[in-house]
Amino acid sequence: MREEGPSNGEKKSDDDEVGMMMIPCLDFSFNNKNNNNGLGSLEEWKKMMSKKVREACEKHGYFVLVCDDDEIVPKVLREKMLMGLKELFDLPEETKKKHQSTTKPYSSYTSDCPVIPLNQSFGVCDSHVFHVSQEFTNLMWPHGNPSFCETMNSISSKLVELNYMILKMIEEGYELPKHYTWEIEDMLMKGTVFLRLMKYKSPSKEGEIGLVTHTDKNTLTILCQNDVQGLEVQTKTGKWIQVEIPQNAYVVVVGDILKAWSNGRLHAVRHRVTMKGDKERYSFGVFTMPKDEAKIEVPPELVDANTHPLRYHPFTYGDYIKFFVSNLNENALDEFAAL
Ligand SMILES: O=C(O)CCC(=O)C(=O)O
Ligand SMILES: [Fe+2]
């Protein structure tokens, strides 16, 4: 099992934070001999990984997911998507501006935002549904671009599947009573999926902000980037560290909704993007979020009067997002739902 070791890009500090500074890295290749010793069944592997996933999400609020074989997302697909992003962002501004959406906040094409001038982004809801990817592609390339459409749709589907698999692992990691599984699936996995496509221009000076500090407001995010690093996370003790992401790896980030659902046990990590060097950075992320009317409620099993008293009152996802969008407060979850 590849995790939290010095060979995995571990960052050390000279203070007492060494334990906190390690970058959690989980290898999701089931066929990797170090993972299952060639003996375990898929079920046993999943059980063991669920524990690791839960631990990483509680301790760090994110982890780097490596998978060297093609079982989760084929390498070619990922490379095609990153090449497709360049092609997309190279389109004329007036074409990109045609992508306007009112269904979800932050989904229209955005560029030249004074706070994050290096960043350009598109948001597409439910891109794992073929006709959605097709509509988006046809808007950007009126003469068609079947290869982009196919790639965007396939990688979205793969990452949605992976996102749900990790959510299930987190749930299994808590060993909650089985009857609860349906409720959780209904609450966390029957909602919207959001694909965000991003480009960061190279900065005019080192260390320019590409994306401001935030926690993700959804359930769980999976991020993928080209070979330009820039993602930084804040440790629980307030230090910023750069997440060195190997080629073929993804970053899984806990959002506010998992934090609320788990009674604050899962950590919604604060993160940002800082740009250095002279290369453009491309990234994309698949964000899962509950339905607007879904009620986010802590399971009684995750409340313990002594060690984990109830931290959040139940709320609906749509109300939370409305609150966030009208207040834009980085402490939105606690302001909105803390008891
Ligand atoms: O570009 C990245 O790697 C991070 C993007 C991100 O954090 C977000 O879109 O919420
Ligand atoms: Fe984020």
pLDDT tens digits along 259-315? 999 999 999 999 999 999 999 999 999 999 999 999 999 999 999 999 999 999 999
Gap between the Cα atoms of 71 and 30, Å rounded: 9
Cβ 223 under 6 angstroms from ligand 1: yes
Given a contact cutoff of 8 angstroms between Cβ atoms, the answer to whether 27 and 36 are in contact is no
CB distance 107 to ligand 1 below 6 Å: no
199 near 116, Cβ under 8 Å?
no
* Cα angle 332-336-338, degrees, rounded to a multiple of 5: 105
The per-residue pLDDT for range 59-95, each reduced to its tens digit, is 999 999 998 878 889 999 999 999 999 999 999 999 9
Q: How far is CA 186 from CA 15, 97, 168, 192, 296, in A?
A: 44, 35, 12, 12, 11
Atom of ligand 1 nearest to the CA of 231: 3
Q: Encode pLDDT of 183-219 as tens digits.
A: 677 777 788 899 999 999 999 998 999 999 999 999 9
Q: How large a percentage of the chain has pLDDT more than 70? A: 90
Asked if residue 34 has pLDDT above 70, the reply is: no
In a domain, residue 57? The reply is no
Q: What is the Cα–Cα distance from 170 to 176, expressed in whole angstroms?
A: 10
**Ligand 1 contact via 216 beta carbon (within 6 Å):** yes
Mean pLDDT of the chain: 89
Residue to probe by mutation, ligand 1, list 231, 275, 288, most atoms within 8 Å of CB: 231
Looking at residue 38, what is its pLDDT? 60
Atom of ligand 1 nearest to the CA of 272: 7
> In this predicted model, what pLDDT tens digit does every residue of 157-193 receive, in sequence order?
999 999 999 998 998 899 888 777 766 777 777 888 9
Q: How many distinct structural domains can be found in the chain?
A: 1
Label residue 255 by pLDDT band (50, 70, 90).
very high
Q: Determine contact, residues 173/266, Cβ cutoff 8 Å.
A: no
CATH number of the domain residue 264 falls in: 2.60.120.330
Q: Which two tokens stand for residue 212?
A: 């401001």
52 within a domain of the structure (yes/no): no
Q: Would you place residue 32 in the very low, low, confident or very high pLDDT band (cuts 50, 70, 90)?
A: low
Strands 271-275 and 208-214: antiparallel
Residue 16 lies in a domain: no
User: Which pLDDT score is estimated for 46?
Assistant: 86
Which backbone phi and psi does 88 adopt, to 5 degrees?
Answer: -65, -50
Q: How far is the CA of 223 from the centre of ligand 1 (A)?
A: 7
Q: Which atom of ligand 1 has the smallest separation from the CA of 230?
A: 3
In a domain, 245, yes or no: yes
Distance (Å, whole) CA 287 – CA 169: 17
**Domain extent for 324:** 75-337
In whole angstroms, what is the distance from residue 4 CA to residue 128 CA?
32
3-state secondary structure 206-222: CCEEEEEEECCCCCEEE
In a domain, 124, yes or no: yes
Share of residues in the chain with pLDDT > 90 (%)? 71
Per residue in 114-138, pLDDT (tens digit) is: 889 999 999 999 999 999 999 999 9
CA of 110 to the centre of ligand 2 (A): 16
- Is there a domain that residue 21 lies in? no
120 CA to middle of ligand 1, Å?
A: 11
φ and ψ of 258, to 5 deg: -70, -35
**What's the CA gap between 51 and 69, in Å, rounded?**
22
- Which ligand lies nearest to the CA atom of residue 214 in the structure? 2
Rounded CA-CA distance 329/307 in Å is 28
- Closest approach atom of ligand 1 to CA 251: 3
Domain-located, residue 41 = no
Measure 171 CA to ligand 2 centroid, in angstroms.
Answer: 22
In a domain, 88, yes or no: yes
